[in-house]
């Protein structure tokens, strides 16, 4: 007798022929940092607790993405995902999901690392595969100014804890802002080579809560790569595929470095991502203003078919690309911390 099984999996293809493979889930809009390029110092209004998807609801939605649509990359983010209580329990639930072929989707986390020492082993044991840790300055005073928290030592310790727990590679995200930390490009490259972590510079995007973004504050990919190459010669790593970072390897074999050039060289043509906000709204782009309410489907007793239909409807509206820098560009109504970076 054969096992009962659900509908055959289908690819989730948008109108421009891109297949969705990657789901980024914000598990909370709260954060223990107040990075200047992301949040105001105070005055954020948090989502009421009852509006957040529960772990069971998140698992249900993700199960539909994984089983029905073969989505094989899951990344937890926020806000700061580690401030959501019992995060390893959620990771454990997601680690039970299986792709149509029987494989496990890749489970990743983006965190500011401040409490990662406390969680690293538990998250690893629960099934987390990969971690990216954000750090914007290697200078303690500047770090405190940029994040409004004097936490550089704990973040550095969190990075070490990630390596000790067996995460490999540990990737480190650096948002560069002109006149703020752009003089640290080479310092970060040197540090990444010494520590055995892959540093990835992110171009500053117009997703700050305060609306202070200006194109003049963006440090572009070409400038970043030229600065590093002058000190530590680089060669490109071919074929990025759908990954957002362009990568280079050091010619002396001491690792790799990446740049996420969202502003100067948008990679929308290869984008395979969709995003689920902490309150259960599906977005097909960071810069999208339309949302599709998966929480309403779940909480009104919708079936997996209903969820799959709403997901398909959302992906059917995915646009060709964002238009930062063009006259018709509209900032999204939520900031990065509210969408999930």
Residue 137 interacting with ligand SAM (CB under 6 A): no
Q: What distance in Å separates the CA atoms of residue 269 and residue 321, rounded to the nearest whole number?
A: 7
Residue 147 interacting with ligand SAM (CB under 6 A): no
Q: Is the dihedral of CA 334, 217, 112, 42 positive or negative?
A: negative
Question: Which residue lies nearest ligand SAM, judged by its C-beta?
Answer: 341
Per the CB < 8 A criterion, the answer to whether 273 and 20 are in contact is yes
Residue 156 interacting with ligand SAM (CB under 6 A): no
Nearer to ligand SAM, 201 or 248 (CB): 201
Number of chain residues interacting with ligand SAM (CB under 6 A)? 20
Residue 131 interacting with ligand SAM (CB under 6 A): no
* Residue list 296-325, contact with ligand SAM (CB under 6 A): none
Q: What distance in Å separates the CA atoms of residue 39 and residue 45, rounded to the nearest whole number?
A: 11
Residue 256 interacting with ligand SAM (CB under 6 A): no
Residue 175 interacting with ligand SAM (CB under 6 A): yes
> x/- string (CB under 6 A) for ligand SAM, residues 5-44?
--------------------------x-----xx------
Nearer to ligand SAM, 203 or 310 (CB): 203
Nearer to ligand SAM, 70 or 81 (CB): 81
Nearer to ligand SAM, 80 or 129 (CB): 80
* Residue list 204-233, contact with ligand SAM (CB under 6 A): 204-205, 207-208
Per the CB < 8 A criterion, the answer to whether 216 and 275 are in contact is no
324: Cβ contacts below 8 Å, ≥ 6 apart: 205, 206, 262, 263, 266, 287
CA dihedral 262, 10, 340, 73 (to 10 degrees): -80
Closest CA relative to residue 286, chosen from 258, 324, 259, 328: 324
Residue 112 interacting with ligand SAM (CB under 6 A): yes
> How far is residue 4 from each of residues 1, 60, 100, 103, 160, measured CA to CA in Å?
9, 19, 13, 19, 46
Give the residues lining the site for ligand SAM (CB under 6 A): 31, 37-38, 77-78, 80, 110-112, 134, 173, 175, 202, 204-205, 207-208, 336-337, 341
């Amino acid at each position: 007798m054969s096992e009962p099984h659900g509908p055959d999996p289908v690819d989730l293809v948008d109108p421009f022929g891109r297949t969705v493979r990657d789901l980024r889930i914000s598990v909370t809009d709260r954060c223990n940092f107040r990075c200047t390029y992301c949040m105001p110092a105070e005055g954020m209004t948090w989502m009421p607790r009852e509006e957040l998807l529960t772990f069971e609801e998140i698992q249900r939605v993700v199960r539909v993405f994984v089983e029905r649509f073969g989505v094989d990359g899951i990344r937890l983010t926020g806000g700061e995902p580690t401030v959501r209580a019992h995060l390893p329990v959620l990771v454990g639930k997601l680690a039970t999901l299986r792709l149509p072929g029987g494989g496990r989707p890749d489970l990743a986390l983006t965190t500011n690392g401040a409490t990662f020492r406390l969680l690293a082993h538990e998250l690893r044991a629960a099934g987390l595969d990969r971690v990216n840790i954000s750090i914007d300055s290697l200078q303690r005073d500047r770090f405190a100014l940029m994040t409004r928290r004097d936490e550089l030592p704990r973040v550095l310790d969190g990075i070490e804890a990630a390596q000790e727990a067996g995460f490999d590679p540990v990737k480190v995200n650096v948002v560069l802002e002109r006149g703020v930390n752009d003089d640290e490009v080479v310092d970060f490259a040197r540090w990444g080579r010494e520590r055995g972590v892959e540093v990835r510079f992110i171009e500053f995007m117009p997703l700050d809560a305060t609306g202070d973004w200006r194109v003049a504050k963006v440090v572009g990919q070409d400038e970043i790569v030229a600065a590093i190459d002058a000190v530590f010669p680089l060669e490109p790593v071919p074929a990025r595929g759908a990954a957002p970072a362009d990568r280079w390897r050091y010619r002396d074999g001491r690792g790799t470095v990446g740049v996420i050039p969202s502003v100067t060289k948008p990679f929308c043509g290869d984008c395979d991502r969709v995003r689920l906000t902490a309150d259960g709204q599906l977005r097909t782009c960071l810069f999208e203003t339309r949302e599709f309410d998966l929480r309403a489907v779940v909480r009104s007793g919708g079936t997996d078919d209903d969820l799959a239909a709403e997901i398909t409807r959302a992906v059917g509206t995915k646009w060709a690309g964002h238009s930062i820098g063009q006259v018709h560009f509209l900032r999204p109504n939520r900031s990065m911390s509210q969408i999930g970076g």
